[in-house]
Amino acid sequence: MTARKDSDTLVLPNSLMGRLCAACSDEWSDYTGHAFVRGLGDGTLPEPAFRHYLAQDYLFLIHFARAYGLAVYKSNTLADMRAAAAAITGILEVEMALHVKYCAGWGLSEAAMAAVPEDPACMAYTRFVLERGMAGDILDLHTALSPCVVGYGVIGKALADDPATRRQGNPYLSWIEMYSGSDYRELVGAAVAQLDRLAVSRGGEARFVDLVQAFRAATVLESGFWQMGLNAAGR
């Protein structure tokens, strides 16, 4: 899977997101081409790894809703407040319900996932995002969020487009279809556009070096989230 090429098809190279990906190309490739991701594509990912990931992703979504709550507070325009509020509603009322329904197919109930201890890898990334938002401004916050929001779309599309991806009998095909689908692509486009708007209003060009540092750290932590699943399966 060639992550850079697939990233460019979703993210224009001259957008802030495209420039961040280029500045952190090694970390971005490690994240989007991680062994966990390759296991999703060829269907060889151990099921315990995926179940552990799913349970932690439930907790992850809760903290992401908190992050968008912080985005409302950090916004200085009504448009940005509405966008963040819509994201909160989408996570809590739509995405959480879809995640719970999806996980039920893997034998995971919502009560069971809510009771799972938070893995250090989940804690590391979500708290980093919140810290960036609290210490910085809304541009810092969205930069820290972007490896997840945009990255999943890049990964989903890359796997969907890869002829080597296993279709027949792949237990993870529905995950690939979810993150390569038009609904998620629309979300990715909105996130990329929002990052560009914030870069203009918040002096992103002058702060690019600092934004790269935050993006790199967040991307490494996302790779750690994949590795967390493999570690749980003894890989």
DSSP string, 140-174: HHHHHHHHHHHHHHHHHHHHHH-TTS--TT-TTHH
The burial class, CB within 10 Å (0-12 / 13-18 / 19+), for 71 is buried
Give the model's pLDDT for residue 191: 92
Express each pLDDT in 135-149 by its tens digit.
999 999 999 999 999
Residue 1: band (very low, low, confident or very high) from pLDDT cuts 50, 70, 90: very low
Question: What is the C-alpha separation between 143 and 132, in angstroms, rounded?
Answer: 9
Q: What pLDDT sits at residue 8?
A: 45
More confident residue, 2 or 51: 51
Count the helix, strand and coil residues of the chain and give each as a percent rounded to the nearest 5: 80, 0, 20
Q: Provide, rounded to the nearest whole percent, the portion of the chain with pLDDT above 90.
A: 90
> What are the tens digits of pLDDT across the range 92-129?
998 999 999 999 999 999 999 999 999 999 999 999 99
Residue whose token pair is 């296991």: 39
Q: Is residue 59 scored above 70 in pLDDT? A: yes
Q: How confident is the model at residue 10 (pLDDT cuts 50, 70, 90)?
A: confident
Q: 56 pLDDT exceeds 80?
A: yes
What is residue 6's predicted lDDT score, i.e. its pLDDT? Answer: 41
CATH of 3-232 among 3.90.230.10, 3.30.160.250, 3.30.710.10, 1.20.910.10: 1.20.910.10
> Would you list the domain boundaries of the chain?
3-232
Q: DSSP 3-state assignment of 85?
A: helix
pLDDT digits (tens, 9 = 90+) for 173-225: 999 999 999 999 999 999 999 999 999 999 999 999 999 999 999 999 999 99
pLDDT at residue 45 greater than cutoff 70: yes
The answer to whether the predicted template modeling score (pTM) of the entire model surpasses 0.85 is: yes
Contacts of 26 (CB under 8 A, 6+ apart): none
Q: What is the mean pLDDT of the chain?
A: 93
Cα(49)–Cα(63) distance, rounded to whole angstroms?
21
